[in-house]
Structure 1
């Protein structure tokens, strides 16, 4: 059996023996073979959040995105459609664009000047034979979908078919924020020295928030999975505030005709997701001190600041927080078995003025601090899983969304590996028979 087939067989065995409710074996977080498989079975096969429409507002505006060894151009074409194109010239393969973002009239290869429209069609190729058909050499397209201003791409030839169903559920939650018209106020890229799954596991729970995120927790109530019987006398005043904030949020949602219900499908479909609206403490508006606004101008068409936190999780690589005054969107892209890039983008109303309605420091300070704290935690976890003494440990009851993420991930590997493993075993049997 070839080395690649042997690696797949070994990973398949790890998938099969994964114990429900426990973290993964060390190789899932450290192995180059597992990382390579992740890039094929997960990042090469599923819908990935990569950018917002606010980043490509005008025709010709683009961003480039690196997904493993792939480079993509996300661009708004001359008809104002969002396109996703492979960043590879069809002549001799040169990279077309190097900058992370910008604006172009046409896409011109820097090597031999093959020229493409922003929809990917080839319009100039010097020195070709009379029979050369430019229509056959446009840039290769990538599947792309937009949902209420969020841009998703899929590298697979046949993307998961449930995306339309998911979009139909989440779009009514997002519409009021009008992200298609929003403005990018700030964006950061943070490299974390940890496997992408550790980044996502850390995000999928707040079990660590009380001790690790002092800036963030001032806005949140600690009762997400509490019942009234769990509330101690010391916590009763906070719980009473929580009940009042919950009732107020219910009323605001009802008056504004927006959905309020939790939808939790993180591990029950290929395009796993969860969406919920949480009441906030204090002013109940945003991530400022005691829940205060961080932007004076409310986002979208919202008229009430106490709109809570609309929290959206999408498998495998993104999460979103939408407040009454701004939105924060996050994407994670693997850089290697033990390195990941976390991109954070802050969006505000297009008419919000920096220095008048908000400051960059005031808008971003909570999540800049939280991201850096999470970076340190992920890096500690990465060092831990590389220790020979590491073995999978049990998730706490409040870490059920971590279990959902891992369950979703393991199912993706299982579905991908099953035909490959069976094929490898068949080749092994044929090879053994031929050598007898």
Structure 2
């Protein structure tokens, strides 16, 4: 950042008022966006996909994080590895974004060839004194947390990812991510800043009037409500949810299924939160009829009514794990006013489309919800760009997790700026 931009950002961070939305430049300013990419997305653990994306040796996936491009692959020893997608010759990008199968990593420019371990194997016309050993691909830190893949572009990644893994792997293990496959993947470009995407995800204040599909399996009041704000019917529904949460948590924990809330969204460098939430009606899955979308259960789960395990990570993901399928979400910034939201639906690796599950039924709730959220993010971005915009107060009852995201972001930016 330039000196002037640095000073401006420092002032904005210093005067941020807790319990209120961020000021407009945090959503609109190109210099702040670049700072976000430098201080947040280049220094923290970023969720990029699942181990089933690279299920077999030779499978590769390329994910772009801002200007950086990362190759994630599984080598012949079944180890998951990650490298910068930059040839060590003259810097060409070697593999386009997306998934592929490779025997080696070959630069299309001059055919420098790297093994799946990143070592340079072949470089023609370089002379007798050329040392291939010091020209391997630059490594990127990668950590699988129960089958969820996180990368960090920093030379010294935050080591508290190990604490997140210690806490989360018992929650994730019953769903056995490594023995699933990606049934469907969707990329949606939202016309808004990445922080608006995350803020929208971190509350359900907006769910009732905006998500008619999602609020069939999920309780709109599951993340809080103001006393006196509900009519008698809504209050009965909220009380029913609270009682269902208590009884389900007791039963699930008794069956060895971790369920209780763990919240470190704003007190860790690698912020995260998890809780197993009840599903309404039949209680089986996040579908329009609340019943399982796939007839083959995940892992060793025998009880169909295991709710939905929710898992949030700072700065770029959220996930829902049911007994029959998993939905994961990756947020990748494009520029100050555009954001990629990548959604994956996972089913048991042996499940056959049209036999064990119907793809439309599997995906329709979150396909609809994603588009509804994208529309909300777009009007929020339009508002942030309006000269009349000023930060409004968060609801103390329904937007606590939004405040935790904002507090985490402000804290990490201040730490980066010293």
TM-score of the superposed pair, with normalisation by structure 2: 0.96
Contact 1:287 1:366 in 2 (8 A): yes
Q: CA deviation at 1:64?
A: 0.6
CA shift in 2, pair 1:118/1:243, >3 Å: same
SS at match of 2:400: helix
Question: RMSD value over aligned CA atoms?
Answer: 1.7
Deviation, structure 1 residue 6? 1.1
Kept after mapping to 2: 8 A contact 1:107/1:115: yes
User: Residue 22 of structure 2 is aligned with which of 21, 24, 38?
Assistant: 24
Displacement of 1:254 after TM fit?
3.0
Inter-partner Cα distance in structure 2 for 1:229 and 1:188: 38
1:264 corresponds to which residue? 263
1:217 to 215, 218, 237: 215
Residue 417 (structure 2) aligns with: 417
Going from structure 1 to structure 2, the CA distance change for 1:266 and 1:303 (only over 3 Å counts) comes to same
Greater mean alpha carbon deviation, residues 285-294 or residues 134-143: 285-294
Cα gap change, 1:142 to 1:341, in 2 (>3 Å): same
Q: Could you tell me which residue of structure 2 aligns to residue 399 of structure 1? A: 399
> CA offsets, 1:371-394, max 9 Å, x none?
000000000000110001101111
Whether 2:311 is the aligned partner of 1:326: answer: no
5+ unaligned residues in a row in structure 1: which ranges? 419-436
Distance 1:235 1:33, change over 3 A: closer
Confirm or deny: 8 A CA contact 2:222 2:238 kept in the other structure: no
Partner Cα distance (1:208, 1:321) in 2 = 19
Is the 2:118–2:136 contact (alpha carbons within 8 Å) kept by the matching residues of 1? yes
Unaligned runs of at least 5 residues, structure 2:
none
Query: Following TM superposition, by how much is the alpha carbon of 1:366 offset from its aligned partner in structure 2, in angstroms?
Result: 0.3
Deviation at 1:98, TM superposition (A): 1.4
Match of 2:168 in 1: 170
Distance 1:99 1:340, change over 3 A: closer
- Between Structure 1 and Structure 2, the one with more helix by share is 1
In the alignment of these two chains, the number of paired residues is: 416
Q: 1:131 offset after TM fit, Å?
A: 1.5
Name the counterpart of 1:433. Answer: none
In 1, Cα distance between the equivalents of 2:18 and 2:173?
37
Q: Within the alignment, does 1:184 sit opposite 2:149 as a pair? A: no
Structure 2 counterpart SS, 1:357: coil
C-alpha distance in 2 between matches for 1:247 and 1:7: 49
Corresponding residue for residue 121 of structure 1 = 119
TM-score, normalising length from structure 1?
0.92
Distance 1:195 1:381 in 2: 9
8 Å contact from structure 1 (residues 249, 306) kept in 2: no
Counterpart check, 1:284 vs 2:283: yes
Sort the Cα spacing of 1:279 and 1:91 in 2 relative to 1 into closer, same or farther, 3 A. same
1:140-194 per-residue CA deviation (whole Å, 9 max, x = no partner) reads 0000000111000000011112110111011110001000111110000000110
Question: How far 1:301 sits from its partner (Å)?
Answer: 1.4
Distance 1:394 1:343, change over 3 A: same
Aligned equivalent of 1:35, options 27, 33, 36: 33
Query: Which residue does 1:390 correspond to in 2?
Result: 389
Cα 1:225/1:143, change in 2 over 3 Å? closer
Equivalent residues in 2 for 1:284-303 (5 A)?
284-303=283-302
